[in-house]
Amino acid sequence: MDGPVTASVGWLVAAPLAGSVATFLLRGRRGASEAVLLLTALAAALATNGLVARIMGSGPYTVEIGSWGAPAGIEWAVDDLSAAFLAVALPVWIAATIVAHGLLHSPRSPRDARVFRKEPGPTARTFWPLWLLLWGGVNALFLSADLFNLYVALELAGLAGVALVATAGVLPALQAALRYFFANVAGSISFLTGVALVYHRYQTLDLQLLRSAAESDASTTVALALLGAGLLLKAALFPMHAWLPRAHAAAPAPVSAILSALVVKAPVYLVLRLWLDVFHVALPPSVLTFVGALGAIGIVWGSARALRVERLKSLIAYSTVAQVGLLFTAFPIVHAAGSRDARWGLVFLAVGHAVAKASMFLAAGGLARAHGHDRLDQMTGFGAREPLCTYAFGLGGMSLLGVPGTIGFSGKWLLATSGLEVWAVPWVVAVSASALLTAAYVWRVLAIAIRSAPEPAGTRPLARRIAWSAFALAVLTVALGLGSGPFVEPLP
């Protein structure tokens, strides 16, 4: 019998989905919607807290829903990997929700409140239901214990994401949303075919059962390739990244933050889970070399583009392409080392990117609101005008770079030491040297921020909660860098 704490994990999915329905029925009534959001966040926080306490106390566990156990029913499974992602996702969601609220409800133009109503952009009525739908979908992804549930969660998160990109309401956003939609569908078809093949071969979709049944044979290899291809497309690994920069740049800033931080991270998490955990025995190592090489190219390509684009949000979006590449260059290290340290290195890198990238996008959203645009050449000297957003962007950038003290450094250090122990030199060099490319585009922005220049016309003050939320996430990269030791030590 599950205790109340254990069962509460279901609230991570149920609360946002119920909230989604509630906000839809409320039709954008502000006070009531705020109450729903608050309740959702509270439920998610309590559930996450219970989950972390349980996993640290007694290790991995599963929860059956409606007493339908494996192989047919719905199950939630929690282990150290999903716990780490869920624990970090919570503050990202809360900060992004506060910023979304700030951007939706603070006047866009202090002078004429009527003008901003005509400005394109999301309205509370469409935004919150989709937002909470995405929240529930992403949480379900990290909790699902069988392949079919995973597919459903992927679809849910993908479609909510597409719709949220479209809420920006301008033509480029609609075009980007359409491309994102097609990429998503292609990825889903590939993934679903893979799921079907797995079912055909093993007669179950439960990950626990598959782990013990997995064998190395032709149909498993094909199934893994199809599952992987779908996930890599959704993760935007080079050269399947073309949909990402436009979608993430055109979406409203809090949506970009969630997409870059969590929605592309979920497929990476699933590749890690399926390839290196469940089907570990069936995976040819050459696949990882190939994926790692694509990742390395992605680092160079994404960084080079980030150095040239004209808009801040595009720059951050291309940075995501580069950072996803970095995560995949770490896969061969994790595989070759096969150690706990290497695996935590990759997890640190992934969750570090989630927090850092979210803070950077939220800061960019604040800066874009303050300036009325995000064209870098017309933002010179923004550091003096919006110091908090600038520190948030800078600190997030430092974590991407792997500056010591941030979670990014912890990840790179663990990967480099365990990689060198097994002599995986090219991958260690890629992981270490990527910092220089990252530095190049981060400092491109910081140099613009520091440059002294007169204030451009039309800048407006920013709601304080926007800048503070972005900054709080940036501080979290340092808190995780300095304080994750005691949380990780007791885990397997």
Partner 1 sequence: MSWADLLPPFILGSSLLPGLVIFFLPESRRTLRTALNLASACLKLVAVAVLMAVVATGGQPRWEWSLAPGFDLALQADALSLLFVTLSAGLWLVTTVYAIAYLEGAPQRSRFFGFFSLCVSATVGIALSADLLTFLVFYEILTITTYPLVVHRGTRRSLAAGGTYLVYTLSGGVLLFVGTAWLTALAGPVDFASGGATVDTLIHEHPGALRAIFALLVAGLAVKAAIVPVHGWLPVAMIAPAPVSALLHAVAVVKAGAFGILRVVYDVYGVQAATDLGVLTWLAGFATITILFGSLRALVQDDLKRRLAYSTVSQLSYITLGAALATPLALTGAVVHLVHQGLMKITLFFCAGNLSETLGVRRVSEMAGVGRRMPWTMRAFAVAALGMIGTPPIAGFVSKWYLGAGALSSGDGWALAVLVASGLLNAAYFLPILKTAWFEPARKAWPVSSGRLETSWMLLLPPLVTAALSLLVGVCAGVDASPLAWAGRIAREVFGP
- Return the number of the residue (137 or 394) whose C-beta is nearest partner 1: 394
The nearest distance, CB 16 to partner 1, in angstroms, is: 31
The nearest distance, CB 241 to partner 1, in angstroms, is: 25
- Return the number of the residue (227 or 330) whose C-beta is nearest partner 1: 330
Exposure on the CB side of residue 186, measured as CA atoms within 13 A: 14
The answer to whether 36 touches 44, Cβ cutoff 8 Å, is no
Helix axes 425-450, 312-337, angle to 10 degrees: 160
The nearest distance, CB 48 to partner 1, in angstroms, is: 21
The nearest distance, CB 345 to partner 1, in angstroms, is: 9
- Return the number of the residue (100 or 403) whose C-beta is nearest partner 1: 403
- Return the number of the residue (17 or 415) whose C-beta is nearest partner 1: 415
- Return the number of the residue (266 or 442) whose C-beta is nearest partner 1: 442
- Return the number of the residue (377 or 489) whose C-beta is nearest partner 1: 489
The nearest distance, CB 420 to partner 1, in angstroms, is: 4
The nearest distance, CB 440 to partner 1, in angstroms, is: 9
Distance CA 393, CA 387 (A): 10
Cβ atoms < 10 Å from Cβ of 413 = 17
The nearest distance, CB 300 to partner 1, in angstroms, is: 15
> What single-letter amino acid sits at 297?
I
Binding-site ranges for partner 1 (CB under 8 A): 340-341, 344, 348, 381, 384, 387, 391, 398, 403-405, 409-410, 412-414, 416-421, 428-429, 432-433, 435-436, 439, 443, 447, 450-452, 481-482, 484-486, 488-489
Strand, coil or helix: what is 146? strand
Distance CA 198, CA 214 (A): 10
- Return the number of the residue (15 or 398) whose C-beta is nearest partner 1: 398
Long-range Cβ contacts of 398-403 (<8 Å, 24+ apart): 398/442, 398/477, 399/352, 399/353, 399/355, 399/356, 399/474, 399/477, 399/478, 399/481, 400/319, 400/323, 400/352, 400/353, 400/356, 400/357, 400/438, 400/442, 401/435, 401/438, 401/439, 401/442, 402/435, 402/438
- Return the number of the residue (66 or 454) whose C-beta is nearest partner 1: 454
The nearest distance, CB 484 to partner 1, in angstroms, is: 6
E strands, 6-105, are 61-64, 75-78
What tokens appear for 226 in the block? 């199809």
The answer to whether 382 touches 462, Cβ cutoff 8 Å, is no
Q: Cis peptide leading into 110, omega within 30 of 0? A: no
- Return the number of the residue (22 or 437) whose C-beta is nearest partner 1: 437
Distance CA 443, CA 439 (A): 6
Distance CA 128, CA 19 (A): 9
The nearest distance, CB 245 to partner 1, in angstroms, is: 25
The nearest distance, CB 487 to partner 1, in angstroms, is: 10
Distance CA 381, CA 361 (A): 19
- Return the number of the residue (313 or 412) whose C-beta is nearest partner 1: 412
Exposure on the CB side of residue 458, measured as CA atoms within 13 A: 10
Provide the Cα torsion 255, 258, 261, 263; round to 10°. Answer: -100
